[in-house]
Structure 1
């Protein structure tokens, strides 16, 4: 099950966040900071799946935008990895070459 989705730029600024279970606002800030720090610090040749506390993180980079999905331990990482790619393809068709600005200002 997907627990949250984050879209973050290379500087670590959250451009979009969506939570599918209740997380306190105070905990969201620390969760996002840890997740972003963990994923942005990884090299390109490393796996796009990371274990973090009670979650498995699946992330993918598109130009200057990182999409990070937190899932539970029973979810299939490869299926979520492909879901992220399909989501980006839909955004790309909708916005005619989606950019960070589209995500920031048109999807809120």
Structure 2
């Protein structure tokens, strides 16, 4: 099971944090700091799996990928496949890349709702829901279509509202 997902920049500032188990706020901040110090010190030549027992307790692994200025970190229990999680990180990043056409750190800051929506299409409650990028993008397109239909039907054009107001006088 996935315990948490953290996206950090090269300076250790969290850009996305999602915990699938209850963790108090002060502990969450400590986890983010500890995770950053763990992954930022590692050379790119080393593997992307780290034993997380010192931070999270026994049977926990920290799996991460470093893309440009961002670290994508998944904290998982021993039941998860490390290579499967690396693939899941790749799917997540590629999906974001397609949504934002070359995703960057600013996209994570300014479009937080969309980022969470993409993540919720992939992982729900700490369990992997979808790994097919085409299905994830189709769900995003459907949500966008539904949103645009809802907003277009709920808005009345100014000309129409003016003519309605005149007819009641």
State TM-score, norm by structure 1. Answer: 0.96
Which structure shows the bigger proportion of residues in strand conformation? 1
Match of 1:6 in 2: 6
1:75 to 65, 74, 80: 80
In the alignment, structure 2 segments of 5+ residues that lack a partner are: 114-169
Shift of 1:107: 1.6
User: Alignment length, in residue pairs?
Assistant: 108
Shift of 1:29: 1.1
Shift of 1:73: 1.3
CA distance in 2, matches of 1:72, 1:7: 18
Deviant stretches of 4+, over 4 Å: none
Q: Which one has the largest radius of gyration?
A: 2
Q: 1:7-40 CA distances to partner (integer Å, 9 max, x unpaired)?
A: 1001111111011111111111111111110001
1:85 aligned onto 2:80: no
CA distance in 1, matches of 2:74, 2:96: 16
Which structure shows the bigger proportion of residues in helix conformation? 2
Q: Between 82-91 and 51-60, report the one with greater CA deviation.
A: 51-60
Match of 1:64 in 2: 69
CA distance in 2, matches of 1:39, 1:105: 25
2:102 partner SS: coil
CA distance in 1, matches of 2:93, 2:35: 20
Shift of 1:104: 1.4
RMSD over equivalenced CA pairs, Å: 0.9
